[in-house]
A and B are shown apart, each in its own frame.
Chain A
Amino acid sequence: MAPRLAGGDPAIAMLEIRHLTKTYGTGETATHAIGDVSFTIEAGEFVCVVGPSGCGKTTLLKCIAGLLRPSGGEVLLRGRRVVEPPEEMALVFQEYSRSLMPWASVRNNVLLPLRHKPLSKRERMSLVEEALGAVGLVRFMDRYPWQLSGGMQQRVAIARALAYQPSILLMDEPFASVDAQTRGDLEDLVLRVREEFNITILFVTHDIDESVYLSDRIVVLTHAPTEVKELIKVDLPRPRDQIETKELTEFAHLRAHVYRLIKREQVPAETLTSSPATG
């Protein structure tokens, strides 16, 4: 299944974030979550966003997804300003157990974003089967999500996003709450479906290895008020492999580089909070 809006004008970026700011509250008590963030994602790219913990990654993602209104700046999806969740965009949350409906079967969970689309019943069912096939869960269609393991539940959430046929997929630390073995498998699954479905991916993570392993480019953020610290091109050969890719010296260099950037970010914040007032 090709994304509906594949192709398009190559001169226009898939996603453009321009001077995005987000402030909660006003006056003295205002919290500046996002200072000034700008970056661009081209069609077909896999971009990871990493940053020190608590740097407003989720806030940024919700602004991009049209779930939160930014205080300033704008998000452009194929040149059009995002003011509400756009149709070409799907979002996968970290908390799979909370984003899936426990009263609905796996099939009905994946159907949720399709019911209001102008499709025939057969088209809907074939989209559901194709998406569940891509994540290897066709056999579990009639189960409830809570009857599946954590990794399988997150695969259901991914299948739901794929069935929606987005041209861009946003993922908010999707593998943060699964074990290491499952995490590796899910990473490879995402890389595979990205090829298969030809989608652009914006992937938020706090795991540096994960960001290097997956992406074409990494956006490193500062702590709040968040700005872009550095954009890093990842030129590791594809297809990536959990063992071979991670053995490459370039992988180690990139990993160390991102690590230093984030470490430097965390030092001032930590000394601020951990030094008790003496005197």
Chain B
Amino acid sequence: MSARTYRITKVAAEVAVPILILVGWQLWTISADDPKFPKPTTILDKFQELWLFAQFGTHVVPSLERIGLGFAIAVLAGVALGVPLGLSSVARKAAMPHIEYWRAIPPPALLPISIVLLHSIGNVQKVSFIAFFCLFPVLLNTIDGVRGIEPTLIETARSYGVPWHERIARIVLPAALPQIVAGMRNSLALAVIMMVLSEYFSSTSGVGYVLLISKNTFQLVPMWAAILLIGVLGYVLNLLFILAERRVLAWHRGWRAATPQ
């Protein structure tokens, strides 16, 4: 197979498979005629009616805000806590059992208490809930990344009298960045889950809320449309993240390719 045909085959596989699935689904739902499984075309119509863009501002924007804020807080806190924990073994000894404990709790178990403690089913509670569980992947990866820094680099900086804050900014953070970014990607996927979960539990707006109301009122088409939207959101967010990662970590790919390890 020539390189050209190989490329065309790859693109065709990428595009053809989803189309085939959609066509098959459409044919099956027409023949099944079951209200639980509306036709994809019906769902897409509903999707367009709801999300492009009649309800976009009332439900999609609040959900995106919660994801964005919760994720941002988790990343900032995870890096800010992870750097000192990565640098100090004493701090790690003190903190690790607590991190492992809270990480082991299934998120839904903390939903009721989050509402009680924060006196809120609004953004404060949702953002805190998302931030709390998105913290762990960033935090643990930051600790690992900082611990794995090449000792020669630190010694080089010490021998040149580079002050500690500059060592953190110019050596520790960039060196740990590939791992921090890997943790961020996991956190972003978690953020979507936590958003749906917190909105589904109690809310007055958001995509999860639409899902809940549609289920309670037996409106199955909007429910499917909401599911489709959540999938698209997760997919697009991940895609944007990967594009950003490629830019920021371009050096890392080049370096890995150039260095046998």
Q: Which residues from chain A contact B155 at a C-beta distance below 8 Å?
A: 62, 67, 91, 93, 99
**Which listed residue (B157, B159, B162, B174) contacts A103, Cβ 8 A?**
B174
**CB proximity to B under 8 Å, residues A5-33:** none
Given A85-B159, A95-B152, A103-B177, verify A116-B252 contact (CB < 8 Å): no
Over the window 61-85 of chain A, the binary record of Cβ atoms lying under 8 Å from chain B Cβ atoms (1 yes, 0 no) is 0100111000000000000000001
Q: Are A146 and B258 in contact (CB under 8 A)?
A: yes
Asked whether A101 and B174 contact (CB < 8 A) given A91-B156, A144-B251, the answer is yes
* A-side contacts of B161, CB under 8 Å: 85, 87, 113, 116
User: For the complex, what is the distance from the CA of A93 to the CA of B158, rounded to whole Å?
Assistant: 13
B5 within 8 A of A: no
Interface band, chain B: 20 to 34
Chain A residues near B160: list those with CB within 8 A. Answer: 85, 90, 112-113, 164
Which of B156, B175, B259 contacts A97, CB < 8 Å?
B259
Measured between beta carbons, the chain A residues less than 8 angstroms from B255 are 102-103, 144, 146
- Beyond A98-B153, A99-B152, whether A65 also contacts B159 by CB under 8 A is yes
Tell me whether B150 is interfacial, beta carbon within 8 Å: yes
Residues of B within 8 A of A214 (CB): none
The smallest C-beta distance from B152 to any residue of chain A, in angstroms, reads 4
Which B residues are CB-close (under 8 A) to A113?
Answer: 160-162
Q: Let me know if A102 and B251 touch, CB within 8 A.
A: yes
Within 8 A of A (CB), among B147-172: 150, 152-153, 155-163, 166, 170-171
> Do A144 and B156 contact each other (CB < 8 Å), given the known contacts A85-B161, A116-B166?
no
Q: Which of B159, B163, B171, B251 has the most C-beta atoms of chain A within 10 angstroms of its own C-beta? A: B159
| B254 at the A interface (CB under 8 A) | yes
Q: Does B166 contact A103, Cβ atoms closer than 8 Å?
A: no
Q: Looking across the interface, which residue of chain A has its beta carbon closest to that of B170?
A: A112
Cβ–Cβ < 8 Å partners of B171 in chain A: 101
User: How distant is B255 from chain A, measured CB to nearest CB, in Å?
Assistant: 4
Chain A residues within 8 Å of B162, by CB: 112-113, 115-116
Chain A residue at minimal CB-CB distance from B157:
A112
Q: How far is the CB of A128 from chain B (nearest CB, A)?
A: 14
A89 at interface by CB-CB < 8 Å: yes
Q: Are A98 and B150 in contact (CB under 8 A)?
A: yes
- Residue from the list B159, B170, B258 in contact with A147, Cβ < 8 A: B258
- The complex places the Cα of A17 from the Cα of B155 at a distance, in Å, of 21
Alpha-carbon separation in the docked complex, A51 to B161 (Å): 29
Which of B109-150 touch A at CB < 8 Å? 150
Q: Which residue of B lies closest to A96 (CB)?
A: B152
Binding site for B on A (CB under 8 A): 62, 65-67, 85, 87, 89-91, 93, 95, 97-99, 101-104, 112-113, 115-116, 144, 146-147, 164
Could you jot down 15 A-B contacts, CB within 8 Å? A65-B159, A67-B158, A85-B161, A95-B152, A98-B150, A99-B153, A101-B175, A103-B174, A112-B156, A112-B160, A113-B160, A115-B166, A115-B170, A116-B162, A146-B258
The 8 A-B pairs with the shortest beta carbon distances in the complex, nearest first, are A113-B160, A98-B152, A146-B258, A102-B255, A91-B159, A103-B174, A85-B159, A103-B251
Besides A103-B177, A115-B170, 12 other CB < 8 A contacts? A67-B155, A85-B159, A85-B160, A93-B156, A99-B156, A101-B175, A103-B174, A103-B251, A112-B162, A116-B166, A144-B254, A146-B254
